[in-house]
Structure formats: C-alpha cells, structure tokens
Amino acid sequence: MLKKNVIKLIVLITTFISVNSFAQSDNTSTTKKIAAEERARYDAMHTMQVLSLASPNFQVTYYRCNWNIDPAVRYISGSVTSYFKMTASTNNIVYDFTTALTVDSVVYRKRQAGFSQLANQTIQINFPSAINRNKLDSVSIYYHGVPPTSGDFTGGFSQTTHNNTPVIWTLSEPYGASGWWPCRNGLDDKADSIDIYITYPSQYKASSNGVNVYTIANSNTLTSYYKHRYPIASYLVAIAVTNYTVFTNTANINGKSMPVIQYAYPEDLSSFQSATPVVLNALQVYSSFFGDYPFVKERYGQTEFSWGGGMEHQTNSYIVSTGTNLITHEMGHQWFGDKVTCGSWQDIWLNEGFAEWLGDMFYPEKTGDSATMKSNVRSDLSFVVSSSGGSVWVNDTTSSDRIFDTRLTYDKGAFLVRMLRFTLGDSLFFKGINQYLTDPKLAYGFARTADLQRNLQNASGQNLNYFFNQWFYGEGYPSFTVNWKDSSDHKLYFTISQTTSKSSSVKFFKAPLPIRLINAAGTQSADIVLQCIRNNQSFVVNEPGFAVDVVSVDPDKFIISKNNKTVKQASALAAITTAKISVSPNPVTNTANVMLENFKGKVLLQLFNNNASLVWSKQINAQQTTQVQIPFSSFINGTYNLLATNEKGIKQTTTIVK
Ligand SMILES: [Zn+2]
C-alpha cells in the first residue's frame, strides 16, 4: 500500500532543506508522503493482534462470499461459505471474526451448527462430531451488522461520499479483514480461489477481485458475481460500491491480450482515461522483467476510492488518484505482495521495499525519465540516513509505527533492492528475482527474507550473508573517506577508510563503492567500482586518460552512505603513503612474518640492528601484497629496523622487537 496525501512535513523541513520541493513532480512528492499518513491510520491500531487467532487445525481452500451493501448505509449483511481441509482431527474450528458483527446462524451440512463469538475477535464453530484430519469440508456463516471502526479494524470498512454520492470500500491490510468477514486472517494461509457475490442498489456498480462474470438485475438491486481462481490472502480481498464509470482497455502481456478494467468516480473519469498509457506501459514493462503479470488469465484493474493513497488489492488496485508513482507502486505489488506475499510482518519490506523501488525508480528508469528517478533516489537516501540507526527487519511487530515505518520499510527497503541490483549486476539480479517469484515454495504463497536470499544466492553463486546481516538486520550506514593521489606512472592510488553511524550494530559495511573521476574541464570517466572488503584498504587503478582533478564518491547513489569525503594528497608521496609494511608477531621470537602492501616490482629489504649494522637482507619481486619471512632465532634480543626500498627509491621502515 502507499499513502499519498500527507506530506512528511518534519522530514521535508529537516532533511530536504536544500531540495527544491516545488520543482518536484507529483511522483517525488508522492514518494515522500507515504508513511506519515499510513502511520496515522495504524496509530489507532496499537492493540492490533500480531498473528491470526484462527485455530491451526484447518486450512482454507475456498471462500464463497455473499454480501449486501448499500453505500448510503454503513452496514453489511450476508454469508461466507468456506471450504477447508482439516490438519488435525477435531470437532471445532476457530475463524478470525469481529464480535461487533452479529452471527445469525452457522450452517454445516444443511443443519445449524453451534458457535460462539469469543472476546478475542474470533468465532468458534462446533461440529456435531469430530472431522478427521485431511478431510475436506465446508461451513457457512450468516451475519449482519455495522463493521467496527477501531483497533485492528480501523479503516477496514469505510463509508463516505464523493461529489455528494455515497461510497463504501474496504481496505483490510494488515488485520482488518475479520472486521467485516469471517476468515483466516494471517500470513500463513491463502485460499486457492474465491467467489464474491455483491448485491447493491441498482444505481451503483460494484468492484472486487477477479473477473466480473455477470451482473444480474433483481427487483431493486443488482448482483455482481466476481470470480477469482488464484490463491489469495484474506487481506487482499476487497469490495467497493458507488456510481462508478467503468471503462476497459486491453493490455498486451508478452503476446497475450488481457483486459484492464478501470472503475472511476464519474467526476474523475478524464483523469483515469488519461492515465491509461501509464497503466498499459507499466504492465508491459513489469511483465518483461518479472514474468507475465501474475493474474494474466483474468485481468488487471484500478478502482478509485477515497482513502488517501492506494492498496494493492489482488487484480484490482484501489487508488485515490492517478499519479504515476501511485499507479506503478500498487501495480508492482501484484508481483511483490500479492503473488509472493511477505510471510511475516517482520518481512514487510518484501512487499513495500520492492513496490517502492518499482514505483520510485524502475518505471521512470525504463521510460527514460532519469531525472525523476535520480531525484527520487536522492530524496529517499536523504531520508534513510536522516537517523543513525534502525533496521529494515521489523524488530517489533506489535508496533504499527514500526511495521509501516516509511524510512525503514519503504525507503531503506527500496534501497536494499537497489543495492542488491548494483551489487549483483542486472543479469544475476533479475535472474535471482525471477527465480524468487517462480519458486514453487513461494509463488502464490508466502516468503520470508531468507527465501529471497536463497534465490539470489542460487542465481548468483554468491554468499549474501554479509549483505543481509549488515543491511537488513543491521542498522546504520557507512561514511567513506577516500584518500587519493595521482603519480608520474599514470596510476591513481586510493586508500579508503570507513566509519559507521552505529558501530554497535555494524562495524564495517562491505560494499562495492562507485568512484567517478573528473578533470579540470569537467570531463568525467565511467564509474570505477572499488570492492571495499576491509577498512583502510588500498587500491591502484590506471588513470582514465586525463589528469584527474576531482574524485566523486558514488555520485548516482547506489550505496547507502552519508558524509563521504575525498582527500587529495600530494602526488610525490603517492607510493610512499600507499606502500605499507606490517609485521607479526611483534615482538618476535623465531620468525617474523612481514606483509608488504602496494610495493610493486623489485624491493630490497634490509634489516638493521640498533647499532645500525646490517644483519639481514633480501631482494624480492613484490606483488600487490607480498609476504616475506625473516628468521630471528639467531639474533640477540633488541630493537631492529626493517627498511624496504623499491626501484624508484621509495622507502618504508618499521621497527621489529625481539
Ligand atoms: Zn505499498
């Protein structure tokens, strides 16, 4: 989901002072508005349950829902029939369901069954005898009432007006579904399919998941039948009823035609119509990168509602307006969130980080709007590093603020995706992401972060433990200091050091660091990428064909960092400051292991005692790093000086104690 209408005022004021907000498009401002308002909605939900309280002794395979809705009246009546499979032999099952709604009856095998609505917002259904494990069965719950508006159920079932016309819509993420229909309301069970029948006054139209197979007229009402034959999580089921104007386009999904059905308020029809090219283009772009739109046998659509943002209801995104960022974010969720759904609220970034990345960066990038993309990336990064800590991993799923934290879940989550793409390169990254989306354990089911890591590792052959430890579980960001100099041999010498904003969490961020070289006339090199694997690491690279005047660290912001510095050192000292000697152990008893770094070519090693007498020497052919052993067993105790001299007369000394 994406919250649109509230500006993150504090953030904009404190961290984007230098950004010309007025020049930013709706896309960028949308990106920056998400969380505060999403949080506002969830602030009311501090008591929300962490997990489904439905009993673990069954799994739902199918729902058939019959709902009566009049948008002028905040009220629902109807029934939900669920097919289920027992996972243990027992004579009762428990669904999530609010006690605010009245259950009229429960029907099991054409007879009334006993039930009780429990204070923990569940309903227990008592069967006349135990149902055996693995048995498929079904039960119907008939109910009516005014859906609740507080706690877990805030905003789940909303009634208001637009242009003086009443509208009812639902938005159930994360725990709202059982506030208006009985279901298993967790991140562990998708029904294989669902049928939805909505009956409503005949001046309106109804919008829901899947294919609108028919709409038939009753005496004063209409009944619309929506059929959906893909697995679906309960929080992605939605209905909306008002005086919609409906129009249909046709998308081409990798050669397959698919209807795209839009439900717009009449007063906003032209805006929805003019957004058509964006919708059709984004469907094609995403399908080309992540495989066919996941519900291609049915349709995609958008439905206007009056909540301040968007929600990725399966096959049918609900949106408040037609900004490109909102459209592409919610559409991206159809792959990341709907087809593969986060398996725990700890991993909500698998939904929101990816959708944010797609909405912010991917689509503008593919359509050539790189200015918008770069602007979005810079403001995302500014926000991510506006605080020194915090992990993308949700460390407290009882806190709604924490789950839907814009900085961490949306913006830093999106940056994790960006960094994974940069780290792995496009080929391996997209290979891994597509394996993730088609993994039989995950596709149309649920995934944890470890499942994403496993697929990226399998595709790339790289161990990504470090990446997820430092960026997903870990907190904070690095600050790089790049010491550099040129030299008469047309090489550039770098030593890169790093501090971290929260060293108690991550002491060092292993990362590929892009460096751009610029001359006095402004000519720029292609970025070179230095693989930073330890602190104070030295690198030598060839000059780009011009004398370098300025070194720019990660100019296009591929890696989360802040307060990076470059320090140019005098050229004549180049080799001396990058050439290093280290000795271990020191003091030494028998053998000193000498490590030479950045001495290229012939090097003369000379060891002098404290009378300045030469006691040992050796000439070596040094590589980038070279290890040499000096036998000390025959030397008397004392202090020795080791001198290393290369062909250019560059010297380094160090002291060794025996
Ligand atoms: Zn979202």
- pTM to 2 decimals? 0.81
Average pLDDT of 505-529? 95
User: Percent of the chain, pLDDT > 70?
Assistant: 90
* pLDDT higher at 417 or 28: 417
> Is 415 a residue whose pLDDT tops 50?
yes
Q: How far is the CA of 541 from the centre of ligand 1 (A)?
A: 42
What is the pLDDT confidence band of residue 9, given thresholds at 50, 70 and 90? very low
Domains, the chain, ordered by start: 46-153+156-243 (2.60.40.1730), 265-475 (1.10.390.10), 478-575 (2.60.40.1840), 579-657 (2.60.40.2550)
Q: How far is the CA of 182 from the centre of ligand 1 (A)?
A: 24
Q: How far is the CA of 81 from the centre of ligand 1 (A)?
A: 30
What is the pLDDT confidence band of residue 649, given thresholds at 50, 70 and 90? low
Q: In this predicted structure, what is the pLDDT of residue 47? A: 37
> Is 650 a residue whose pLDDT tops 80?
no
Count of helix runs (H) and strand runs (E) in the chain: 15, 37
Q: How far is the CA of 45 from the centre of ligand 1 (A)?
A: 18
Summarised one tens digit per residue, pLDDT across range 583-594 is 999 999 999 999
> Is 624 a residue whose pLDDT tops 90?
no
What is the pLDDT confidence band of residue 572, given thresholds at 50, 70 and 90? very low
Measure CA 257 to chain center: 30
Residues in the 5 Å CB sphere of ion ligand 1: 1-2, 352, 355
> Is 618 a residue whose pLDDT tops 60?
yes
Q: In this predicted structure, what is the pLDDT of residue 221? A: 98
| Rounded CA separation 345/403 (Å) | 7
Amino acid at 492: L
Q: In this predicted structure, what is the pLDDT of residue 648? A: 64
> Is 48 a residue whose pLDDT tops 80?
no
Checking phi first, is residue 230 left (phi over 0); if not, alpha (psi -120 to 50) or beta?
beta
Q: In this predicted structure, what is the pLDDT of residue 569? A: 86
The answer to which of 18-22, 307-311, 339-343 has the lowest mean pLDDT is 18-22
Q: In this predicted structure, what is the pLDDT of residue 652? A: 75
- Tokens encoding 270: 């032209």
CA atoms within 13 A of residue 150's CA, in its CB half-sphere: 3
Q: How far is the CA of 327 from the centre of ligand 1 (A)?
A: 10
Summarised one tens digit per residue, pLDDT across range 431-469 is 999 999 999 999 999 999 999 999 999 999 999 999 999
Q: How far is the CA of 565 from the centre of ligand 1 (A)?
A: 35
Q: How far is the CA of 33 from the centre of ligand 1 (A)?
A: 12
Q: How far is the CA of 34 from the centre of ligand 1 (A)?
A: 9
- Tokens encoding 59: 């799994």
Q: How far is the CA of 336 from the centre of ligand 1 (A)?
A: 9
| Rounded CA separation 170/117 (Å) | 22
Average pLDDT of 104-128? 97
Q: How far is the CA of 139 from the centre of ligand 1 (A)?
A: 33
Collapsing DSSP states into helix, strand and coil, what is residue 459?
helix
Q: In this predicted structure, what is the pLDDT of residue 372? A: 81
Burial class (CB in 10 A: 0-12, 13-18, 19+), 638: exposed
Is residue 424 within 8 A of residue 462, CB to CB? The reply is yes
Q: How far is the CA of 491 from the centre of ligand 1 (A)?
A: 47
Question: What are residue 624's phi and psi, to 5 degrees?
Answer: -55, -45
Q: In this predicted structure, what is the pLDDT of residue 471? A: 98
What is the pLDDT confidence band of residue 570, given thresholds at 50, 70 and 90? confident
Q: How far is the CA of 3 from the centre of ligand 1 (A)?
A: 8
Q: In this predicted structure, what is the pLDDT of residue 23? A: 30
Q: Which residues contact 611 (CB under 8 A, 6 or more apart)?
A: none
Summarised one tens digit per residue, pLDDT across range 168-201 is 999 998 889 999 999 999 899 999 999 999 999 9
**Mean pLDDT score of the chain:** 89
